[in-house]
A and B are shown apart, each in its own frame.
Chain A
Amino acid sequence: MRHSSGENFIQLAGFCFFFGGALLWDWQRRMRRSRKIEDTARVPVASAAQGHAELHGYAWPIQTLSTLLSGKTAVYRSLKIEKNVRRGKRSHWVTIYEEKSERPFYLVDSSGMALIYPPGAEIECQCLEKAWFQLGDEQRLTVNELLRTHGVDVPMSWGFWIFSSLRITERWIDAGSPLLALGQFRSGQDSLIPMKSTPMRGLGQFLEKVQKLSRPEFAAFILDKNRDGVISAEEHHDGVVAAASLSTGTYGSRPIVIPKGGEKSPGFSGQMTHSTADPLFISDHHEKGTLERLLKWNFLRLIAGAAAISTGVILVYLQMR
């Protein structure tokens, strides 16, 4: 009993050290990232010089992606499916399937367009997590098909699908979402993606709508959903995503006719990719919203991390006494 109790103490202490260390690491990561964002001057896409740059704009797809859980049109998506595995009294989550979109997409502003390559980048974006029982029938069929297509071995029994614990986590960047990209910018007129393959239809209209939304009278009327006189980062995000949907005719289920004719689109200015020397950071909010998200409850992470490690030390001390 004493031996078993001692093991539990050590395991609990180990968990405290791990958990506390993870919290402290996350705290310092967020502090460094937010400082980097604050210290880097924002530049219009067309004026960005070669080298480290911070660009603000809006996400525009080369090829749209559909999200599984939220049913939205996205430029980037990552999906993770985890299974809860039990070993005696303990259980833990095991990833059985994971995918991340590697397709590049555009960051557009009124001055130009830049190509963003997500592989390897640190991405702060919307996240949704659902358990198996929370999914709709179509979503379950899609998950089923995904796992089967990628050769993931799961027992195809009704018992498994009803009683097992599956967790699906999806992260995505909406088409039209505000976008902040911080990293190495390579200027140049040569796009690695043929411009003809990019759906420019609706881009000019979208940028006009965004221009209108930047005016206080329009913003207050259209974006301020809760009428509190303040346009939050979330309200701004939802408003411009809706503007993108309207501009491309994908709003709701009713098709919207887009007038024919040439669209004036901004010119291509360069691209951003991830490298170990200059990691790429992408966020689906502009600077203010990104900083709010990064620093929310961050002080608590520091306190909780320090407290967890201290608790671990106390447990080890008690065990050794």
Chain B
Amino acid sequence: MNPIQLGILVFGAILVGVLVMSLIHIYNALVDLRNQIDRAWANIEVILKQRHDELPQLITVIQQFTQYERATLDRLIEARTRYGSASSINDKVKAASEVSSALQGVLVVAEGYPELKSSDQFVHFQQRISALENQIADRRELFNETVTRFNVRIQQIPDVFLASALGYSKTDLYRISHAEKKMPSLKMKLSA
């Protein structure tokens, strides 16, 4: 064999080897990205669970002062129950948004009860939920950025070929629900 031909053959073989390694690397990176999304969502769920656990105590305090606002409190109780029974990420995102929306409704009601607003217990839970909402907002940003990077990657060449082979599809962002958009900011209300 001609040395030049041998050199070209070896050069080509190295590039093929590099291509195979690159495909392995892309596969690993996509799996890593997918796991980052799961992790980012798990970090949000931790806070949502804390909020979920603290809501009954807030509801009890409010019930002591607002005997005539049953419908508003029932809406929050139902939203909380739906969150507890949700299984997929998308269902939980939807249920969490409903809880936020119902919580806003309850706090609007609380505005009309000065005795409730000045109650130490209510103030304590108000501050606690405010801190949790801040954390949820921060982690929602991280989750959305992670999801965006994943969605962009699986639509770009060459990742798009491997992504479709792995069955990866676009993940939904954790958006603000229509009801949440209508109401004044929950954070503003809780810190008032």
Contact = CB atoms under 8 A, between A and B. Distances in A.
Contact of A302 (B6, B18, B32, B145): B18
A126 interface: no
B15 to A, nearest CB: 6
A309 interface: yes
Contact of B3 (A28, A40, A317): A317
A296 B146 CA distance: 26
B35 to A, nearest CB: 10
Contacts of A32: 25
Interface string B25-42: 100010011001001100
Q: Looking at chain A's contact residues, is the secondary structure mostly helix, strand, loop, or mixed?
A: helix
A39 B153 contact: yes
B52 interface: no
Contacts of A31: 22, 25
Contacts of A169: none
B167 interface: no
Interface stretch (B61-69, B75-83, B92-100, B135-143): B135-143
A167 to B, nearest CB: 32
Given A24-B18, A309-B10, A38 B138 contact: no
B23 interface: no
A307 interface: yes
Contact of B36 (A40, A47, A302): A40
Interface residues of B, number: 28
A32 B146 CA distance: 18
Given A306-B14, A314-B7, A41 B40 contact: yes
Interface in B1-24: 3-4, 6-8, 10-11, 14-15, 18, 21-22
Contact of A47 (B11, B15, B39, B141): B141
A43 B29 CA distance: 19
Contact of A42 (B10, B18, B36, B145): B145
Contacts of B39: 51-52
Interface residues of A, number: 29
Contacts of A317: 3, 6
Contact of B142 (A28, A47, A310, A313): A47
A82 to B, nearest CB: 32
20 contacts: A24-B18, A31-B25, A36-B29, A39-B36, A40-B36, A41-B146, A43-B142, A44-B138, A46-B138, A47-B138, A302-B18, A306-B18, A307-B11, A310-B8, A310-B10, A313-B6, A313-B7, A313-B10, A314-B7, A317-B6
Interface of B: 3-4, 6-8, 10-11, 14-15, 18, 21-22, 25, 29, 32-33, 36, 39-40, 43, 138-139, 141-142, 145-146, 149, 153
Interface of A: 24, 28, 31-32, 35-36, 38-44, 46-47, 49, 51-52, 302, 305-307, 309-311, 313-314, 317-318
